[in-house]
Amino acid sequence: MIRMQNSRYTLLVCALLACAAAHAQSVGQSQIGEVVERQLPADQPFSKWVRDLNQIETDAGDQFEKQMVARDGFETVKLRNVVPPVRFDSGVARIPEKHVDMLREALDKLRDRHNVRLHLVGHADDQRLSGALLQTFGDNAGLSRERAGEVAEYLQKALLLPPDAVSYEWAGDTKPIASNATAKGRALNRRVEVEVWYDEPAVHVAEEEVLVQANVKQVKVCRVQTLCKMRFMEGQARRARLKNLVPALHYADETTEVPADFIEHVHKALDNLKDKQNVVVKLIG
């Protein structure tokens, strides 16, 4: 009896091994699209289908980073002493005609430069103004401003320059070139300096905050949705990020049609942010 039971067990084990061998030989021979079950190789790492919950709780997205950025721009070249300073005798400007000719020649040589212009700087001595001058100009700074403007207006007309090609500033009695203790020194300090400016292309490298877009890669499981995020700049503050301002757009299938209510939500959100600066809309699928 025991021998018969052992024989039955032996036959059952052999039958199972034969079925397993037959199934193993059939693996890899199924037709394309046919539902089959296979075991993944044990020597390869597995990728999680669901991200870490701590990662889901964080707002993974674009980040600000400080980087050295090169910007194309211009540098202003200032040519000083192109002509001698314009002097004033008894409150009247002395602008020799040769000064005008020298300026005209200098401007002609710079025709190939960018944004060529005249810049004038008015100066005064440190003597207190008389009653009439005090009422008119207020102080030496006001007097130097008036003298710089007078010379600027004269040269603009004499050289037939557009108004935006002439500018001026004033320094009052803060930058003397001679002693104010003598009449000769005071005469030298009462002057308007004439400069010729132009701009040259230059590359400026500076550290700036740069918005770095996140390289987000998702695996679609069960459903498809599109998230709409918006950002805006509040003055000179950092870029503010708004979440859940527009409901996520869900797809029941692989269609790409955008419903009208989703577009309406976006329009309403933009309308609510119309007083903000540099509003940015980003869609994340």
Q: Is residue 222 part of a domain?
A: yes
Q: Is residue 132 part of a domain?
A: yes
Within 10 A of 273 (CB to CB), how many other CB atoms are there?
A: 17
Q: Let me know whether 199 and 224 are in one domain.
A: no
Structural domain harbouring 279: 215-284
Q: Let me know whether 75 and 188 are in one domain.
A: yes
Q: Let me know whether 75 and 182 are in one domain.
A: yes
Q: What pLDDT score does 234 carry? A: 55
Q: Let me know whether 193 and 219 are in one domain.
A: no
Q: Let me know whether 111 and 162 are in one domain.
A: yes
Q: Let me know whether 78 and 201 are in one domain.
A: yes
Q: Is residue 137 part of a domain?
A: yes
CA–CA distance from 141 to each of 31, 100, 118, 159, 191 (Å)?
Answer: 95, 26, 21, 27, 12
Q: Let me know whether 249 and 185 are in one domain.
A: no
pLDDT in tens, 112-125: 999 999 999 999 99
Residue 184 has pLDDT above 90, yes or no: yes
How many folded domains does the chain comprise?
A: 2
Q: Is residue 87 part of a domain?
A: yes
Q: What pLDDT score does 227 carry? A: 58
Question: What pLDDT band is residue 128 in, cutting at 50, 70 and 90?
Answer: confident
Residue 25 has pLDDT above 50, yes or no: no
The pLDDT of 186-196, averaged and rounded, is 93
Q: Let me know whether 190 and 249 are in one domain.
A: no
Q: Let me know whether 180 and 264 are in one domain.
A: no
Among 1-10, 20-29, 37-46, 65-74, the range with the most confident prediction by mean pLDDT is 65-74
Q: Is residue 167 part of a domain?
A: yes
In sequence order, the 6+-apart residues with CB closer than 8 A to the CB of 56 are: none
Q: Is residue 52 part of a domain?
A: no
| Three-class secondary structure assignment of the chain | CHHHHHHHHHHHHHHHHHHHHHHHHHCCCCCCCCCCCCCCCCCCCCCCCCCCHHHHHCCCCCEEEEEEEEEEEEEEEEECCCCCCEEEECCEEECCHHHHHHHHHHHHHCCCCEEEEEEEEECCCCCCCCHHHHHHHCCHHHHHHHHHHHHHHHHHHHCCCCHHHEEEEECCCCCCCCCCCCHHHHHHHCEEEEEEEEEEEEEEEEEEEEEECCCCCCCCCCCEEEEEEEEEECCCCCEEEEEEEEEEEEECCCCCCCCHHHHHHHHHHHHHCCCCEEEEEEEEC
Q: Is residue 42 part of a domain?
A: no
| CATH number for 80 | 3.30.1330.60
The residue from 156, 172, 205 where one domain ends is: 205
Residue 244 has pLDDT above 60, yes or no: no
Q: Let me know whether 81 and 169 are in one domain.
A: yes
The residue from 205, 230, 258 where one domain ends is: 205
Which of the pair, 275 or 285, is modelled with greater confidence? 275
Q: Is residue 45 part of a domain?
A: no
> How far is the C-alpha of 260 from the C-alpha of 245, rounded, in Å?
17
Q: Let me know whether 226 and 184 are in one domain.
A: no
Residue 269 has pLDDT above 70, yes or no: yes
> How far is the C-alpha of 192 from the C-alpha of 124, rounded, in Å?
9
pLDDT in tens, 57-93: 555 566 788 888 888 888 999 999 889 999 887 666 7
Residue 15 has pLDDT above 70, yes or no: no
Q: What pLDDT score does 272 carry? A: 74
Q: What percent of the chain has pLDDT over 70?
A: 59
The pLDDT of 162-181, averaged and rounded, is 94
Q: Let me know whether 111 and 200 are in one domain.
A: yes
